[in-house]
Amino acid sequence: MIDITFKRHAKVILVGEHAVVRGYPGIVAPQHHLNILCHYQEDQPTTIIGSCHKTQWVLDQHFKQIWHIIQTYFNQPTRPFKGRLHIENHIPIALGWGFSAAFSVVMAELGCYLFTKNVTPEKIYTLAKQLEDHFHGKSSGIDIAGVIHTDPIYFRHHHPIELIQIDFDGYFYLCHSHEMSPTKQCVQAVENMHAKHLDEKMALATALVRSGLTQQGPEGLVMTEEGIQIANQCFYDWQLMTPELISLEKTMKEQGAIATKVTGAGGGGLMLGLWEKPLKEIPKNWVPLLTH
């Protein structure tokens, strides 16, 4: 009888949001201290359990559709789910950490395990992307790739994944705005603007950050700073900043940040800050990213 567990981590997009949906590049980094576990037991009575109220709500609202997508992907007849599924989730939901991507990946892994003997990373990625499309309407795949890979990556659709060897002198910290990020609505709002020049502006930001992250000394820091600033301006131009995000941006700069930007879809969620030196005291609820 099958008794198996799959585990994946959270992710944070550094640059490339929204533009990446239309084929432009982006950079995403893992956040290993947040994770999700999917435990399946075939011989147990059928139950689908989430480890907290919000996770259970997601399962109650979405699991039937998710299971249907998985069965369709493998050309399986539509049958009810059987067995015990326990989702132990430690990734905040709708806050920019990639819960939907991580959940999609572990469910894709379970589907691959149950319905095919030939499990490949490509199958897991393709199925997981279809599952995330269910949540967001249109997924670029960058979040899925960020969950699958254990190192920071440079992502561009239909191009090979490139690992980024971080070798620069800056320090990133993340803080949440306490506003949920409405990903689907934000993606649609940007889509409706048809602002190609902003996609190109974000691509420039990605190129600068990609170069900056791999260079020690002032030059690497300056390029990363400029890229982060350009990317953040895109969120202003897309009208995805909120008063709470703007207030948090101001707080980070008062704490010495040389650049800040929203990370994720915008409209809430996480704010990323860049510092030249590590903070002596990390404020409550702030989290370091890409620690040295």
Give the model confidence (pLDDT) of 7-47 as tens digits. 999 999 999 999 999 999 999 999 999 999 999 999 999 99
**114-123 contacts at long range (C-beta below 8 A, 24 or more positions apart):** 114/2, 115/70, 115/71, 115/74, 115/76, 116/74, 121/148
Task: Supply angle C-alpha 285, 178, 149, rounded to 5.
Answer: 65
Predicted confidence at residue 129, as pLDDT, reads: 97
Q: How many helices (H) does the chain have, and how many strands (E)?
A: 8, 10
- Which of 194, 213, 186, 188 is CA-nearest to residue 269? 186
Phi-psi region of 141 (alpha: psi -120 to 50; beta: other; left: phi over 0): left
pLDDT digits (tens, 9 = 90+) for 74-130: 999 999 999 999 999 999 998 889 999 999 999 999 999 999 978 899 999 999 999
Burial label, 280 (beta-carbon count in 10 A; 0-12, 13-18, 19+):
exposed
Mean per-residue pLDDT of the chain:
95
Cross-strand pairs, 272: 174, 261
Averaged over 169-185, what is the pLDDT? 90
Q: What share of the chain is helix, strand, coil (3-state, %, to 5)?
A: 45, 20, 35
Domains of the chain with CATH codes: 3-155 (3.30.230.10), 166-289 (3.30.70.890)
Task: Give the mean model confidence (pLDDT) for residues 223-251.
Answer: 97
Q: What integer pLDDT is reported at residue 292 of this predicted model?
A: 65
Q: Count the Cβ atoms, other than its own, within 10 Å of residue 39.
A: 17
Residue 272 tokens read as: 């990323």
Q: Please tell me what DSSP assigns to residue 262.
A: E
Type of residue numbered 87:
I
Per DSSP bridges, beta strands 270-275 and 171-176 are: antiparallel
